[in-house]
Amino acid sequence: MKALVTGAAGFIGSHLCEYLLKNGVRVVGIDNFMDYYPRSMKEANIVGMMHDKGFEFVEADILTVDLSKILDRVDIIFHEAAQAGVRASWGESFKIYSDNNVLATQVLLEACKASPIQKFVYASSSSVYGDTTDLPMRESSLPRPISPYGVSKLAAEHLCWLYYKNFGVPAVSLRYFTVYGARQRPDMAFHRFLRSATEGKHIAVYGDGEQSREFTHVDDIVEATWMASKNGLPGEVFNIGGGSRITLNQVIRLIQEIADCEIEVRYEEKQKGDVRHTFADMTKAAEELGYQPKVQLQDGLRREYEWMKELVESLSG
């Protein structure tokens, strides 16, 4: 079996590639190394796989790469590539989001019409729900994103649905809830908090810190993604959460325990596009995919902290 992973050098994409290789799946990874965060971090994400004979990697952009020959040779597509970042998606930047999240997905789906792929798994986001008070968030709820980023992820979900409905492309969408773990992007909360704890600096929190998130460890995300490729019914959407919903203030207390230090917290203005709460109803993922999160937040956070210490040490060395 062979899979195409887009965004293969990214945070989730690189973990997914490793998981697939360990499970005997050969991987073609593509990534355009978008400059949202340092290229060196993405290169480090894939360096361990470059000598694996089952791994082939190409630096390419979905919008220009010739997909036909690639798709002829793969059985499954994992579409993890995206322009990330809720807060950066306003204003003129939106074009980057519409190109990389909406148009790129359409280009891939269009190419799939002519290819006999078994499954197209699209990495969507809990941000499609917006600032709902109807918790937990269910796949059947009306999605109403409050950030341009969320709009772009929802638009791509709709594209998956319509390419399935009209052309039979076997697309499944997964709404990932706040993913964390080693290799997390530098703009994400846990990365920023853990780095501050490691370097003895203050933590900046947007808002009052009482916003809550369903945090999902990347190992659980990767397993759910694999399960979706096997068990996910085409045309369907699934919430993928971690079963750990806590406030940012509680996370900071946990980090202080793990790092065994006091951290100064500075509360800053709430950012436009940030939702108050996320909380996943995972009944559907459990029943239809067989997915159950395994990594407890405290364990996952401790593992990310160990990774962060190594990262900070390597950067200072």
- Work out whether 69 is an interface residue with other proteins (CB under 8 A): yes
Q: How far is the CB of 183 from other proteins (least distance, A)?
A: 18
**1 part of the interface to other proteins, by CB under 8 A:** no
**Near other proteins by CB under 8 A, which window of 62-70, 166-174, 206-214, 270-278?**
62-70
Residue 64 Cβ vs other proteins, minimum distance, rounded to whole Å: 4
User: Is residue 28 near other proteins by the rule CB under 8 A?
Assistant: yes
Distance of closest approach, residue 30 Cβ to other proteins, in angstroms:
8
The span of 48-56, 188-196, 265-273, 289-297 binding other proteins (CB under 8 A) equals 48-56
Nearest to 286 by CA among 250, 253, 243, 245: 243
Q: What is the closest distance, in whole angstroms, from the C-beta atom of residue 235 to other proteins in the complex?
A: 28
With vertex at residue 27, the alpha carbon angle to CA 24 and CA 31, rounded to the nearest 5 degrees, is 150
Contact by Cβ (8 Å): 195, 88: no
Q: Does 66 bind other proteins (CB under 8 A)?
A: yes
Q: Which CB, 72 or 299, lies closer to other proteins?
A: 72
Sign of CA dihedral 241, 183, 186, 58: negative
Of 186, 302, 201, 285, nearest to 243 by C-alpha is 285
In 3-state terms, what secondary structure has residue 255?
helix
Sign, CA torsion 203/205/209/213: negative
Q: What is the dihedral of CA 173, 178, 179, 185, to 10 degrees?
A: 110
61 binds other proteins (CB under 8 A): yes
Of 22, 39, 48, 58, the one binding other proteins by CB under 8 A:
58
Catalytic residue status for 149: yes
Q: Which residues are catalytic?
A: 149
